[in-house]
Structure 1
Amino acid sequence: MPTVSAHVALTLARHIDHVFGVMGNGNAYFLDALERSTGAAFTAVRHEAGGVVAADAYHRASGRLAAATATYGAGFTNTLTALAEAVQAHVPLVLVVGDEPTSGPRPWDVDQIALASAVGARTYTVGRADAAATTVIAIEHALTYRVPTVLAIPYDVASRDAGPLPEAPAPRLPAPLSPAGPFARGAIDDLAAALSAAQRPFLLAGRGAWISGAGEALGQVADAVGALTASTALGRGVFPRAEYDLGVTGGFGAEGAMELVRAADVAVVFGASLNQFTMRFGDLFAPGTKVFQVDVAPAATHPHVGGYVRGDAAVVAREVLAAVRAQGAAPSGWRETADVAAARAYDPGEGLAPDGRLDPRSVAARIGELLPDDRVVVSDGGHFIGWANMYWPVASPDRMMMIGTAFQSIGLGFPSVAGAALAQPDATVVLTTGDGGGLMALADLETAVRVAGGRGIAVVWNDAAYGAEVHLYGLKGLAEDPMRIPEVDFAALAAGVGAEGVVVRSMADLDRLAAWAAQDAASRPFLLLDCRISGAVVAPYQEEIIRVNS
């Protein structure tokens, strides 16, 4: 008869198609049932954090629910940083773990429920009689609140006979949040009236707008009032008309584009939390700009917001569109006067920095020219995050993900390649990572190479340092030795797990990328570019951080 673990696996497999993780004592029976009795695929990673990261990336790249799995105790504690990142980034996934026996903890057990709660994740523990129903509840919680949930299988229950698999109900999910009541109606009318009367209207969309499917409606609103548009780092590509889109806002934005944003007299933000980086630490909009925000949060998330509508971005965008049309709005004409292409231009760099090492701006620009158009960019955390965000445009928000930045962590890069590669099986997956984060995630370099194969490329920004710390704390006079890393040969490390590694010391060395991109993906190897860059070139977003912290 099916075991408790089999009930979990069979029920979960009705709602997911992929599981990532590491097998151990606590999840062995779950993985056995998953492999033998379901159509869900399992991809092994080499560190438990990598399982959660890969599931996270899989969701961000596909929109579909994924699962991760680890054993109890040390296996579970290894997932915590990645789990915290998924919580902060509002990524729904299910983490299936072993747990202490129902009789109580053993010396190697920890209070997993408390640890998960500490990073913001809810735990559901299955029993012999309710494993299928509890699994559905965990899935429902993850999808409803857009957070990871932990599904725990006590060790002494895992292999117990649970009888025939019962019919568990499908998860019940809430409808998109609609504004309700006269105050909400009045707020929408005020927002529409401001847009209709604006001389320089501007629309900003975030990841929430993408998740809600608001792109078409937002494009129609922009056309109706003649607005320039832009996105947050996680919302790029939401608006359908690139010729009027200023790209990414905040520290990753081009300076000319940000000047146009500051010229707006009315700005409406859809589905973006307006964090300090998007807002350029308060300098994104000019003091005279009327700022409205549309989001599902209980209240406005920045003090510069003057009007707030709580609701799903797509629902509200359609209501705003109807309102501006009813008010007889005409296009402002502002966006036709703007030279958007010139405004979006970035500094091409100098090729070589004064210290003789490569200028990362020049490297990033050249790589952006050579990468295949059909690409997914996955980014680790670190000073280097500016280069990909500035120089490697992508088609839509599911093609650019920064796993680690929500929790301000590094070392989650290599396993994210696996999740993105399986979610987008025809695209080239491009990892951007630093030497510090790359070393931290080294266990899953093998995973990235094995799963992505010739569709994978890793760009390691190797400045022999923790660059963000050098630029911030080194400037303050703190000792720099703890911030430095002996230069590591990542190309050799890549070769050790079956990839091709190229040390890039000159712009000409990037010609190998051009040749690689021209090859068929089935016949070429995973490529790692070990770019020996100057640590003296500071990314613009980092300059903003330095300014604020000085």
Structure 2
Amino acid sequence: MTLGEALVRLLEAHGVDTVFGIPGVHTVELYRGLAGSKIRHVTPRHEQGAGFMADGYARASGRPGVAFVITGPGLTNAITAMGQARADSIPMLVISGVNAKATLGKGFGHLHELPDQIGLIGKVALESHHIAMPDELPAALADAFAIFASARPGPVHIEIPLDAMTLPADALSAQLANALPPQPEAGAIAEAAALARDAKRPLILVGGGAKAAEEPLRRLAEALDAPVVLTANARGLVHGHPLGVPASPSFKAVRKLMDEADFVIAVGTEFGPTDYDMYGDNGFVVPGNLVRIDIDADQIARHHSRLSIQADASAALDALVAAVEVKPKMDGVERAAAAREAARAELSPLLSEQLRVVETIRDTLPGSIIVGDSTQPIYAANLYYDHDRPAGWFNAATGFGTLGYGPPAAIGAALALPDVTVVCISGDGGFQFTLPELGAAKDAGAPVIFVVWNNRGYREIETSMTSVGVEPVGVSPAPPDFIKIADAYGIAAERLQSVEELPNALRRAKAKKAPYLIEIVVD
């Protein structure tokens, strides 16, 4: 057995069932063991698509997404996807080749050569491992999966030189990670419970780090009678609950709710500006009397808090629920309702119309996963939107903010959860970044419903230019005929002239049980 074959066997031992990648001459040996394995290989049309598919797979399934890419340009093509995964704490394993060991750093001009590939990728990945000898691989994989299981996740990279891939590796066995996330310290939980006992206007702020903790989150909110403010990456938690506030902390109404709170618990949120200061007005102030719960010590250290609890969100919330005294009902429901109503009223008529698109999809196809690109309906819904499925709303319009994320990420999500309807919302501009991934959806049989918001250009950027007196330039790239392109890939498609036509189109799309494209032409 070669090292390349052993890699596949070790990935299987770690529970990997899908790999996204494009084979090349520098990764042929990594593919030697795939045909006889239980791992499914999905071929995107670009390595960036491989990374985004792995990202969507991970967000939908909760398991690490894995990508195989070639040396040099394959890896650099995937860096953007790794940057998004780093920003949003998504577990992603990227495995690449690298040139033969004796040539590294010499500048001989070999195919796909970089001056320092591991140094380059190490600036984006949480860790980057160079495997010079076969016996180094099990530990590198164990380290990656330990990070995914016990710490704030993100992208991890492993590179294997061309001349190491063919080395004998019969004796390798998996080092399975038994790492657990940090557990809450009892004294800190008791202190937090004491602070909660004295609070008259408690509040909970929730980010994407708590998206797997809905049940203890709901119980804590009800015990404290505390409104729950959800950032974009936390949407889908406490759906429809009277204490839920699915609105951006950038809204004046939500900031007022925070200002008036006398005790705030922040769970799994980094207080990032794209959530808390979207308009760049510097109006957000970290709340006083703050208890912060986060799995990452570095993240906790970035903002002052009255009390910090480094722990997994579910474990910390479970412990806190057990420790707090159940408060008599005060005015939590009323405060939450007032914040919801006032925040929604801050949406302009145009944003409200764009939000209606997303709400129509949710109401027509309940329980779906909605994956977004950077486009107007997604921006509107990131401001205010109550999704009906935990971890079922995600996009790249916050944090790193890549374009072209939506289509491949939706494919990854659909392959991770084949029994769940997956809808991708993309603008005509962003869709063109990864338009060929329609072919990958067709090949893989991923029944994604692609909804294209066609306003013939980068209208959000055009509006930004106009608002500051800059004459718009470069914001009107001509869109293709999306219906013809879908047809060229053998994908059914239809064009709508109004949002009113959308529900019936969505039902037709779901009935197809295959990739389907719906274009909405925007006036």
For normalisation by structure 2, the TM-score amounts to 0.86
What is the CA deviation profile of residues 172-209 of structure 1, one whole-angstrom value per residue up to 9, with x for unaligned ones?
Answer: 414424337xxxx3x54453333223332221222222
- How many residues align? The count is 508
Amino acid at match of 1:435: D
**Could you tell me whether the CA contact under 8 Å between 2:183 and 2:316 is conserved in 1?**
no
Residues 404/107 of structure 1: CA separation in 2 closer, same or farther (3 Å cut): farther
Tell me the equivalent position of 1:53: 52
Tell me the equivalent position of 2:123: 118
Counterpart among 362, 369, 386 of residue 363 in structure 2: 369
Q: 1:452 & 1:392 partners in 2: Cα distance?
A: 30
Amino acid at match of 1:438: F
Q: 2:162 & 2:214 partners in 1: Cα distance?
A: 47
Q: 1:234 & 1:99 partners in 2: Cα distance?
A: 35
Q: Secondary structure at the match of 2:309?
A: strand
Instruction: Establish whether residue 148 from structure 1 lines up as the match of residue 160 from structure 2.
Output: no
Counterpart among 261, 266, 269 of residue 269 in structure 1: 266
Tell me the equivalent position of 2:99: 100
**Could you tell me whether the CA contact under 8 Å between 2:368 and 2:389 is conserved in 1?**
no
Residues 359/238 of structure 1: CA separation in 2 closer, same or farther (3 Å cut): closer
**Could you tell me whether the CA contact under 8 Å between 1:95 and 1:150 is conserved in 2?**
yes
Q: 2:460 & 2:348 partners in 1: Cα distance?
A: 21
Counterpart among 501, 504, 519 of residue 496 in structure 2: 504
State the Cα distance separating 1:505 from its structure 2 match. Answer: 2.2
State the Cα distance separating 1:257 from its structure 2 match. Answer: 6.3
Residues 350/227 of structure 1: CA separation in 2 closer, same or farther (3 Å cut): closer
Tell me the equivalent position of 1:196: 197
Counterpart among 170, 173, 184 of residue 167 in structure 1: 173
**RMSD between aligned alpha carbons?**
3.2
State the Cα distance separating 1:18 from its structure 2 match. Answer: 0.9
Residues 403/452 of structure 1: CA separation in 2 closer, same or farther (3 Å cut): farther
Residues 496/503 of structure 1: CA separation in 2 closer, same or farther (3 Å cut): same
**Could you tell me whether the CA contact under 8 Å between 1:262 and 1:286 is conserved in 2?**
no
State the Cα distance separating 1:163 from its structure 2 match. Answer: 4.4
State the Cα distance separating 1:295 from its structure 2 match. Answer: 1.8
Q: Secondary structure at the match of 1:461?
A: strand
**Could you tell me whether the CA contact under 8 Å between 1:19 and 1:66 is conserved in 2?**
yes
Q: Secondary structure at the match of 1:218?
A: helix
What is the CA deviation profile of residues 425-472 of structure 1, one whole-angstrom value per residue up to 9, with x for unaligned ones?
Answer: 11111111122211111121222344354x321122222222332232
Counterpart among 437, 442, 453 of residue 430 in structure 2: 437
Residues 263/496 of structure 1: CA separation in 2 closer, same or farther (3 Å cut): farther
Tell me the equivalent position of 2:222: 223
Instruction: Establish whether residue 291 from structure 1 lines up as the match of residue 290 from structure 2.
Output: yes
Equivalent residue runs for 1:207-246 within 5 Å: 207-211=208-212, 214-239=213-238, 242-246=241-245
Q: Secondary structure at the match of 1:67?
A: strand
Q: 1:312 & 1:286 partners in 2: Cα distance?
A: 22
State the Cα distance separating 1:134 from its structure 2 match. Answer: 4.3
Instruction: Establish whether residue 520 from structure 1 lines up as the match of residue 511 from structure 2.
Output: yes
State the Cα distance separating 1:500 from its structure 2 match. Answer: 2.3
Q: Which runs of 5+ in 1 are unaligned?
A: 535-550
State the Cα distance separating 1:50 from its structure 2 match. Answer: 1.0
State the Cα distance separating 1:60 from its structure 2 match. Answer: 0.8
Tell me the equivalent position of 1:422: 415
Tell me the equivalent position of 1:32: 32
Tell me the equivalent position of 1:543: none
Instruction: Establish whether residue 493 from structure 1 lines up as the match of residue 496 from structure 2.
Output: no
Q: Secondary structure at the match of 2:242?
A: helix
Tell me the equivalent position of 2:20: 20
Q: 2:60 & 2:263 partners in 1: Cα distance?
A: 32
Q: 2:173 & 2:289 partners in 1: Cα distance?
A: 53
**Could you tell me whether the CA contact under 8 Å between 1:215 and 1:240 is conserved in 2?**
no
**Could you tell me whether the CA contact under 8 Å between 1:377 and 1:399 is conserved in 2?**
yes
Q: 2:286 & 2:121 partners in 1: Cα distance?
A: 41
Q: 1:236 & 1:274 partners in 2: Cα distance?
A: 15
State the Cα distance separating 1:121 from its structure 2 match. Answer: 4.2
Amino acid at match of 1:169: Q
Tell me the equivalent position of 1:545: none
**Could you tell me whether the CA contact under 8 Å between 2:214 and 2:237 is conserved in 1?**
yes
Report % sequence identity. Answer: 25
State the Cα distance separating 1:221 from its structure 2 match. Answer: 2.1
Q: Secondary structure at the match of 2:157?
A: strand
Counterpart among 437, 444, 464 of residue 451 in structure 1: 444
Q: 1:166 & 1:366 partners in 2: Cα distance?
A: 52
State the Cα distance separating 1:132 from its structure 2 match. Answer: 4.2
Counterpart among 393, 406, 415 of residue 400 in structure 1: 393
Tell me the equivalent position of 2:330: 333
State the Cα distance separating 1:22 from its structure 2 match. Answer: 0.5
**Could you tell me whether the CA contact under 8 Å between 2:494 and 2:519 is conserved in 1?**
yes
Q: Which runs of 5+ in 2 are unaligned?
A: none
Amino acid at match of 1:152: E
**Could you tell me whether the CA contact under 8 Å between 1:489 and 1:530 is conserved in 2?**
no
What is the CA deviation profile of residues 13-69 of structure 1, one whole-angstrom value per residue up to 9, with x for unaligned ones?
Answer: 211111011111121121231222x21111111101111111111111111123100
Amino acid at match of 2:435: L
Instruction: Establish whether residue 82 from structure 1 lines up as the match of residue 81 from structure 2.
Output: yes
Q: 2:175 & 2:7 partners in 1: Cα distance?
A: 14
Instruction: Establish whether residue 479 from structure 1 lines up as the match of residue 474 from structure 2.
Output: no
Tell me the equivalent position of 1:72: 71
Q: 1:11 & 1:166 partners in 2: Cα distance?
A: 8
Residues 215/443 of structure 1: CA separation in 2 closer, same or farther (3 Å cut): same
Tell me the equivalent position of 1:544: none
**Could you tell me whether the CA contact under 8 Å between 1:138 and 1:151 is conserved in 2?**
no
Counterpart among 457, 465, 472 of residue 457 in structure 2: 465
Q: 1:306 & 1:196 partners in 2: Cα distance?
A: 15
Amino acid at match of 2:159: A
After superposing the two structures, state which structure 1 stretch, 398-407 or 236-245, moved more. 236-245
Amino acid at match of 2:58: H
Q: 1:306 & 1:283 partners in 2: Cα distance?
A: 21
For normalisation by structure 1, the TM-score amounts to 0.83
State the Cα distance separating 1:521 from its structure 2 match. Answer: 4.5
Q: 2:322 & 2:122 partners in 1: Cα distance?
A: 43
Q: Secondary structure at the match of 2:164?
A: coil
**Could you tell me whether the CA contact under 8 Å between 1:8 and 1:131 is conserved in 2?**
no
Counterpart among 332, 354, 359 of residue 360 in structure 1: 354
Q: 2:348 & 2:123 partners in 1: Cα distance?
A: 46
Q: 1:140 & 1:271 partners in 2: Cα distance?
A: 20
**Could you tell me whether the CA contact under 8 Å between 1:198 and 1:332 is conserved in 2?**
no
State the Cα distance separating 1:231 from its structure 2 match. Answer: 1.8
**Could you tell me whether the CA contact under 8 Å between 1:208 and 1:271 is conserved in 2?**
yes
Residues 249/301 of structure 1: CA separation in 2 closer, same or farther (3 Å cut): farther
State the Cα distance separating 1:320 from its structure 2 match. Answer: 2.9
Q: 2:256 & 2:185 partners in 1: Cα distance?
A: 33
Tell me the equivalent position of 1:540: none
Q: Secondary structure at the match of 2:205?
A: strand
Tell me the equivalent position of 2:340: 343
Q: 1:131 & 1:286 partners in 2: Cα distance?
A: 44
Amino acid at match of 2:511: D
Q: 2:221 & 2:389 partners in 1: Cα distance?
A: 18
**Could you tell me whether the CA contact under 8 Å between 1:12 and 1:135 is conserved in 2?**
no
